[in-house]
């Protein structure tokens, strides 16, 4: 296959994640067709755009799906689940079907059932664990292999050629780890923002006096608060392990309050020691990463002040 897949139909290719895959796949020599209800921007270098709904394919959408070597579903979960069932009879027997959903506990069984019906079809469930604007380079892409084959391997090879790390996981492992790495993280930042709005502090005063760790949290809050709500809603509402993550966050805040309000400095030190021990052999690595990030933020701020 010479490092390419062939014709790739990307449903939702006008969106952020779909756009990222469309652009990189086209750059890698693939024949990319976008199927979307929204017209993509002028920067897309794709062979063709078909206006339509992949979950309710008309004749034109069905025609491009029949000729596809791979169909990538970069659409909301309800659309993807319906589309998988309706595409089974249309896909070529050796085609690849891929989703990019942020939760795998529902879509992976649906893909597995589809490949049982269409026995030659390959299936792969991906989740880029980063904002699409950051690009693939240096970032992880979670990969649940439902039915492997040459096209699935070719796509994973391409993703690694783009500089990403393809991380193989099971569907349950993905959702458990995502609840901790995404749902918990987003919940912590959003809770930080909600708490901040209750305090009688002006953002201009914070901007002038806040130390680097607070600036880092403010930057994360600004990113999430100005992002697409449906993306963060899906992470919180769809992942079956997200409620446990939020409850753990609430208990963590209560534990801190209990130690400080009713405990001693020694108990506070014990708490920090326990948290430090969580990192195990990676503690020094993460301390250095923090130092690098805060130094970079301070350098950028100094440059801004000098303008």
Q: What is the pLDDT of residues 119-138, one digit of tens each?
A: 899 999 999 999 899 999 99
Of the candidate ranges 1-5, 17-21, 55-59, 183-187, the one whose mean pLDDT is the lowest: 1-5
Of the candidate ranges 29-43, 122-136, 149-163, 179-193, the one whose mean pLDDT is the lowest: 29-43
pLDDT at 82 over 60: yes
Alpha helices by DSSP H, listed for the chain, are 16-27, 59-66, 77-87, 107-117, 150-161, 171-178, 184-198, 203-209, 212-225, 229-238, 242-262, 265-278, 283-306
Please give the model's pTM, rounded to 2 decimal places: 0.88
Contact 240, 108 (CB under 8 A): no
Give the model confidence (pLDDT) of 139-150 as tens digits. Answer: 999 999 999 999
1 confidence band (pLDDT: 50, 70, 90): very low
Integer CA distances (angstroms), 21 to 40, 98, 134, 145, 261, in order: 13, 11, 13, 18, 50
pLDDT value of residue 42: 61
CATH of domain 7-169: 3.40.50.720
Buried b (16+ CB within 10 A) or exposed e, 164-195: beeeebebeebbbebbeebbbbbbbbbeebee
Alpha-carbon span 74 to 52, nearest angstrom:
14
Residues in Cβ contact with 7 at an 8 Å cutoff, skipping those fewer than 6 apart: 30, 31, 32, 33, 64, 67, 68, 69, 70
3-state secondary structure of 49: strand
Among candidates 162, 167, 165, which has minimal Cα distance to 29? 162
* The two structure tokens encoding residue 19: 């756009």
Q: What is the radius of gyration, based on Cα positions, of the chain?
A: 22
- In the chain, where are the structural domains located? 7-169, 173-306
């Amino acid at each position: 296959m010479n490092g390419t897949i062939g014709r790739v139909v990307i449903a939702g290719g006008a969106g952020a994640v779909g756009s990222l895959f469309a652009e990189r796949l086209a750059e890698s020599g693939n024949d990319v067709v976008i199927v979307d209800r929204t017209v993509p921007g002028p920067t897309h270098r794709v062979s063709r755009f078909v206006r339509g709904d992949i979950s309710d394919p008309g004749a034109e959408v069905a025609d491009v799906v029949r000729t596809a070597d791979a169909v990538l579903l970069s659409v909301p979960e309800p659309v993807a689940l319906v589309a998988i069932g309706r595409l089974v009879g249309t896909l070529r027997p050796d085609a690849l079907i891929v989703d990019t959903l942020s939760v795998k506990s529902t879509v992976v069984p649906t893909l597995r059932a589809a490949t049982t019906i269409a026995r030659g079809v390959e299936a792969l469930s991906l989740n880029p664990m980063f904002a699409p604007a950051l690009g693939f380079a240096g970032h992880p892409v979670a990969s649940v292999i439902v039915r492997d084959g040459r096209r699935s391997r070719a796509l994973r090879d391409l993703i690694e050629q783009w500089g990403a790390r393809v991380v193989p996981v099971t569907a349950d492992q993905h959702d458990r780890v995502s609840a901790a790495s995404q749902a918990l993280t987003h919940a912590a930042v959003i809770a930080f923002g909600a708490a901040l709005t209750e305090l009688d502090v002006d953002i201009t005063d914070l901007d002038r006096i806040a130390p680097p760790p607070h600036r880092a949290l403010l930057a994360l809050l600004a990113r999430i608060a100005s992002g697409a709500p449906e993306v963060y809603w899906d992470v919180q509402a769809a992942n079956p392990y997200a409620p446990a993550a939020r409850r753990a966050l609430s208990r963590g805040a209560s534990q801190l309050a209990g130690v400080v309000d009713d405990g001693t400095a020694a108990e506070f030190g014990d708490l920090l020691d326990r948290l430090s021990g969580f990192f195990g052999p990676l503690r020094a690595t993460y301390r250095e990463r923090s130092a690098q990030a805060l130094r970079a933020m301070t350098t950028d701020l100094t440059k801004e002040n000098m303008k």
